[in-house]
Structure 1
């Protein structure tokens, strides 16, 4: 009689708990990051007088239906995806500042400038040609300065965005540390904190958007996180990441309290560090190289020539301005275009040899073994080329990520139809267990009545 009561009691408890879990699944069907749960059960019984007596059902645990390996793979893919998307955003900005819709790009400005010298070589005494040359030269120097100013602005934005990403990184690490403590307490008590586990999965996804990392779950249930071999989160604490920025050398260093530096090469923060420290800096260096080469080569030839006023040797560009931000005409040219040296011989106004020599620079390999115009075309096309390659990679990686998300959704997501079917099943099980208890109670009452 007692076994019947124990069996029905365990059945009622099992059905009630199962119904509670299923109801929770249904209610959270549209909750982002929620993982469906299942009550684990096993048959209960005992050996008695040479036979096995069933004692109902025993609840053994509550399982989250989630593939942890899939989570790891998704985080890895998301790290790569966020890194490429971060780079693509900056390359898109760089493309906008070096390549215009009007077509009046740096290569065209250099070409117009050298064409002006070519035209002047045919008629060195024509003041309109000299004025046109000054105008085209000023347009060119303005173009250099404008591109440099915009690139520097993008560099500053990348730096500031990186600093904000570090603040967010510290916030996420702090949240994961708090969740670790809640999960460890649940594990120690033998009761898994599934809500905290789901929240930690969501925070880990947020983290994978920011940085590349390796993670490991400890025996106590806490997750440890390392970046480039350096632990930034363990069961004891979340290490605070700080930034050290050198705007002159364009260095963006990340460091924790112990003094160890961490090398972030993935995620949005990795892209921001990469673009600030390398890609933008390299582009600016190439722009400066082009500007300094132009100043040096034009001045070198121009100093050997003569203008219309006197036999004074003059630079065409200000020799002190050898970067894209500082390039400018020699004030003597702007004050009087007659000072432009077109002649190779003093007092030969019709001699245009020097102007022709400067125009011939377009065909000389003077910048890294390339022609100035070819170098400038490569410079302004680099962001667009890299952006196109990145977009192709992003598309492929997005497909991989969606496939993994679909797989995880099939396992961890809530299917309303399935849950409703299980609800009916558990309701029937509850009713069945209740009938067993009722039958046992009737038998007990009958037995008591006979004894009396």
Structure 2
């Protein structure tokens, strides 16, 4: 080995050491930076010329580039766990809101109001012509109807709040996809000549982490620096190009769906929870309340129609109309089915 070769070995060691100190200092400076991944400097030995009787002696060291200290399999598990956590949190918020709406339905709740209303009918049966008792039952009926309407209004407001959260979530998803696409282009350009850009990859990972909590995504890293992102088996980003998602409304607002090119997605994360809890939480409770109100109205009317007023009437006007008086009642769109039978009138 000649003297210049010895100097070259020392020089390469100093340069590699300087780069190592720079990387170590950068790691220390960013120890508290959110989303920062610790960086490592790769090094390999430099081959030297062969020496007769000795063999090939190395010619120093050179750096090969930066890598991030990250376990991709562990990161994928972490993202799925965060998506599950976000899904449970969103579900809890919606269900707590529904529970709060039901709890606000008076001191005794809706069941207590119905019980009070029915008990007044039992009292009225003892003195059916007592004006005071008749007034009390009317008052309880008006109060029960108002309570049902107020409860339904609160549930509708709860549904509107979920709808707003869904739309905000979809807007944020599309914003994140656009930012991830832009960063993927920058990473591909920066790494096209070799090496890596850990800073840009850290920035992109933070966006993907947020996206995972919203939708629950599977990430596929490509060799050119871009990403594929999948919801279930459906890609929402291919080779760094965003496919975009949207929110569709079906059944006159009764059902929502997150879609891609018109096809429904099955997202996880907070968006998945909002879609599910909107259907089997808020919307189901509204439907059950509507069915209860209809059954209560029908039950009261069936009992009421069998009696007669204190004074005879010469005319009666129904508040339920028909679509066409010239066609059979069974075809007139009445809420209760009409069947063949008999009707009796008492004249006095």
The match for 1:290 among 282, 289, 292 is: 292
What are the Cα deviations for residues 311-357 of structure 1, in whole angstroms up to 9, with x where unaligned? Answer: 78989x9668xxxxxxxxxxxxxxxxxxxxxxxxx89xxxxxxxxxx
Classify the secondary structure of the residue corresponding to 1:55.
coil
**Which residue of 195, 203, 206 corresponds with 1:191?**
195
Change over 3 Å in CA distance of 1:293–1:101 after alignment to 2: closer
Deviation at 1:118, TM superposition (A): 1.0
Residue 98 of structure 2 contacts residue 281 of structure 2 at CA under 8 Å; is this kept in 1?
no
Question: Which residue is 2:249 aligned to?
Answer: 245
Show the counterpart of 1:37: 39
Q: Deviation of residue 123 (structure 1)?
A: 2.1
2-structure distance, mates of 1:139, 1:146: 10
Q: Decide whether the 8 Å contact of 1:81 with 1:267 is kept in 2.
A: yes
Aligned partners of 1:228 and 1:262 also within 8 Å: no
8 Å Cα contact 1:166/1:241 also seen in 2: yes
Structure 1 equivalent of residue 51 of structure 2: 48
Structure 1 equivalent of residue 271 of structure 2:
269
Task: Write the deviation string for residues 79-104 of structure 1: whole angstroms up to 9, x where unpaired.
Answer: 11111211211111111111138523
Q: Does 1:217 align with 2:221?
A: yes
3-state SS of the aligned residue for 2:168? Answer: helix
Describe the SS at the equivalent of 2:236: strand
Distance 1:313 1:103, change over 3 A: farther
Higher RCO, Cα 8 Å, sep 6+: 1
- Equivalent residue for 2:4? 2
Q: After TM superposition, which residue ranges in structure 1, 4 or more long, deviate above 4 angstroms?
A: 311-315, 317-320
Tell me the distance in 1 between the aligned counterparts of 2:51 and 2:144. Answer: 100
2:154 corresponding residue in structure 1: 150
Cα distance in 2 for partners of 1:66, 1:125 equals 83
Q: CA deviation at 1:236?
A: 5.2
CA radius of gyration, larger in: 1
**Structure-1 separation of matches of 2:262 and 2:290:** 34
User: How much does 1:66 deviate?
Assistant: 0.9
Say how many residue pairs are matched.
320
CA distance in 2, matches of 1:251, 1:225: 26
Q: Where in structure 2 are there 5+ consecutive unaligned residues? A: 322-345
Q: Give the helix-richer structure, 1 or 2.
A: 1
**CA-to-aligned-CA distance 1:228-262 (integer Å, 9 cap, x gap):** 43221122521222222236252223334xx3424
- State the SS of the aligned residue for 1:253: strand
Q: Please say if residues 33 and 201 of structure 1, whose CA atoms lie closer than 8 Å, have aligned partners that are also in contact.
A: yes
Q: What is aligned with 1:71?
A: 75
What TM-score comes out, normalization by structure 1 length?
A: 0.66
Equivalent residues in 2 for 1:99-110 (5 A)? 99-100=103-104, 103-110=107-114
Post-superposition CA distance 1:118-171 (Å, at most 9, x none): 111122232222111111111110011011111111111111221111111111
- Indicate conservation of the 8 Å contact 1:304/1:313, yes or no: no
| 8 Å Cα contact 1:187-1:193 kept in structure 2 | yes
Q: Distance in 2 between matches of 1:245 and 1:303?
A: 41
Partner of 1:442: none
| RMSD over aligned Cα atoms | 2.4
Question: 1:258-337 to 2 correspondence within 5 Å?
Answer: 259-310=261-312
The one-character-per-residue Cα deviations of 1:283-317 (angstroms, maximum 9, x if unpaired) are 111111111111111111210112322378989x9
1:232 aligns with 2:236: yes
- The CA distance in 2 between the partners of 1:318 and 1:281, in whole Å, is 28
**2:208 matched to 1:204?**
yes
Contact 2:218 2:229 in 1 (8 A): yes
Q: Once the 2 structures are TM-superposed, how far is the Cα of residue 58 of structure 1 from its aligned partner? A: 2.2
2:14 equivalent in structure 1: 12
1:86 matched to 2:85: no
Structure 1 stretches lacking a partner, 5+ long? 321-345, 348-452
Structure 2 CA distance for aligned equivalents of residues 123 and 158 of structure 1 = 49
What is the TM-score normalised by the length of structure 2? 0.85
Structure 1 contact 303–313 (Cα < 8 Å) conserved: no
The Cα offsets for residues 252-278 of structure 1, whole Å up to 9 and x where unpaired, read as: 23334xx34241331122222223344
User: What CA distance in whole angstroms lies between the structure 2 residues aligned with 1:284 and 1:101?
Assistant: 14
